[in-house]
Amino acid sequence: MIRVEPPREGSDAARVADVEAVCFGAEGWSEAAVRAELDGVPDTRHVLLWLARGEVAGWADLMVVGDVAEVMRLAVLPSGRGAGAGRALLRGLLDEARRRGSERVLLEVADDNVAALALYRGEGFVDLSRRRAYYADGRDALVLALPLTM
Ligand SMILES: CC(C)(COP(=O)(O)OP(=O)(O)OC[C@H]1O[C@@H](n2cnc3c(N)ncnc32)[C@H](O)[C@@H]1OP(=O)(O)O)[C@@H](O)C(=O)NCCC(=O)NCCS
């Protein structure tokens, strides 16, 4: 079940920060960082939560500024992966980007993130550029783009 635009309550930020820690380790966003994103809803942010048995098991965060949207975050707890949650969250963000009139959607992804790359490319994202040593551990990031206007 996806809950759209969660209320800005402290517990949501705490649960999302737990997901961040599990999914991204030291690079996961803190509760304060997550709360700052939730504070941007709905002006510049659109946030979706993936709930499993009532608990936050994944989340997705879109930034929309001008005519460009950017996927800021997409994460699903390992126990919930492989069941369509990631794709549903991503498609929810893309629907919102279209609804807001975005012309394209951008995102950054580590060049060795096989699962995420397969998901994004499967939804039509194409490579735009490479950011060398973008991450703290020295991995490159790929910048992917999805044009929304035809
Ligand atoms: C990337 C992520 C969000 C995918 O979530 P998920 O719920 O497992 O994804 P889905 O079940 O919706 O799978 C959608 C597609 O992703 C791809 N995919 C998912 N897991 C994969 C894997 N282990 N290997 C290869 N491709 C994979 C497939 O193309 C899949 O489509 P298919 O089932 O039709 O083959 C999840 O792996 C995750 O949270 N990873 C850690 C955080 C992260 O890397 N986020 C992205 C940062 S840019």
User: 2-147 has which CATH code?
Assistant: 3.40.630.30
CA 37 to ligand 1 centroid distance, Å: 23
Atom of ligand 1 nearest to the CA of 82: 11
Mutate to test the pocket of ligand 1, among 1, 87, 94 (most ligand atoms within 8 A of CB): 87
CA distance 95 to 40: 18
Predicted confidence (pLDDT) per residue in 43-79, tens digit: 999 999 999 888 899 999 999 999 999 999 999 999 9
Quick: pLDDT tens for 73-116: 999 999 999 999 999 999 999 999 999 999 999 999 999 999 99
CA 116/CA 73 separation, integer angstroms: 11
- State whether the beta carbon of 100 lies less than 6 angstroms from ligand 1: no
Are 69 and 104 contacting, i.e. CB atoms less than 8 angstroms apart? yes
Residue in this structure with the two tokens 């609804």, named with its chain if needed: 99
Structure tokens at 19: 């997901």
Q: Beta partners for 60?
A: 48, 74
